[in-house]
Structure 1
């Protein structure tokens, strides 16, 4: 079965948010999508070029005083239809997460319990920092971007991130406690 390139749909979606240059798209990715969908800078321009070639977007050169022309991309009607079709298609699979801490934990019988506990506590601290980033993003959306059409949907995805991060922090604490209990037995 052919795998769908969802990066194409992420870029199509970003074109609907007012991001019309590769730079603006990268900024939006760094501030939002990167928390749940990774797109490298090196993927943006080839994807935009392909969207134009497929008739899903158009490109316009806009002159800037004292600077090179910038390329601005706009969704075509065909691109909007393609985005809507993808949005309405059923979810076929649950994404597999690559998680280094889980991979290390899986093989942790080959290290001391104390080393495992330290790694889990470090991971929990990173999750805690991540959670605070989500709080800051939520504050920005609710105070500065609340009037954007997409704001409610951004908050829904943010809520997912906050809930899964909180659950992961709780899992870390519980796992550390279980390992510590082994040492007491």
Structure 2
């Protein structure tokens, strides 16, 4: 079976959620996966074209009143098999975080401590906002998707984000106090 990149598999997975169009895929990405996996429109449409060419998805045109036809994509059995095969494979590498605050802190002796503290306070504030967003997303999933078989797994990934963000907030506070 041909190997694809993780973005390709993420789109195959999104198609299992009921999303049918490139626009729907991007909306789901922006509302949920963007916290740990980003995809642009510039990646979505070429990937959908490749998936269609490789018979992992089918595409149908749906008429819309006063608008251009909408392309809707559906997973084929071959596409589902590819997704399931990928899901069973071990994770190849740990994610590498690119964090501007950590990069600046690493070279922090070359700036005033007040500037470093200001950057850390700002970072902590943004993390607190992110954590609040995660709590709101969790509440929405529990309210609007309680019977969805995917919701348990969505909440697992969300819990990871909440825990990582909470730890980062604690790290900020400890670092601020140490400086």
TM bucket normalised to smaller: over 0.9
How much has 1:4 moved relative to structure 2?
5.7
Matched residues in 2 for 1:172 and 1:41: separation?
34
TM-score, reference length from structure 2: 0.96
Name the CA distance, whole Å, in 2 between partners of 1:136 and 1:123: 20
Please give the alpha-carbon distance, in whole angstroms, between the structure 1 residues aligned to 2:122 and 2:41. Answer: 29
Cα distance in 2 for partners of 1:25, 1:174 equals: 39
Question: How many Å separate the matches in 2 of 1:4 and 1:174?
Answer: 42
Q: Give the CA deviation at 1:31.
A: 0.5
Structure 1: distance between partners of 2:4 and 2:93:
12
Runs of 4+ in 1 over 2 A off after TM superposition: none
User: 1-side partners of 2:54 and 2:118: how far apart?
Assistant: 50
Equivalent in the alignment of 1:169: 169
The RMSD of aligned alpha carbons is 1.1
Give the structure 2 partner of residue 73 of structure 1: 73
How many residue pairs get matched? 177
Residue in 2 aligned with 1:58? 58
Structure 1 runs not aligned, ≥5 long: 180-185
SS at match of 1:92: coil
Query: What do residues 121-180 of structure 1 show as CA deviations (whole Å, max 9, x unaligned)?
Result: 10000000000100110010000111111000000000000000000000000011111x
The reply on whether 1:143 has 2:143 as its aligned counterpart is yes
For structure 2, the 5+ residue unaligned runs are none
* Equivalence for 1:25: 25
Q: Residues 68 and 4 of structure 1: is their aligned pair in 2 closer, same or farther, counting only changes over 3 Å?
A: closer
The residue matched to 2:93 in structure 1 has which SS? coil
Distance in 1 between the 2:18 and 2:4 partners?
Answer: 25
Q: What is the aligned partner in structure 1 of residue 5 from structure 2?
A: 5
Q: SS state of the match for residue 59, structure 1?
A: strand
Does 2:159 correspond to 1:159?
Answer: yes
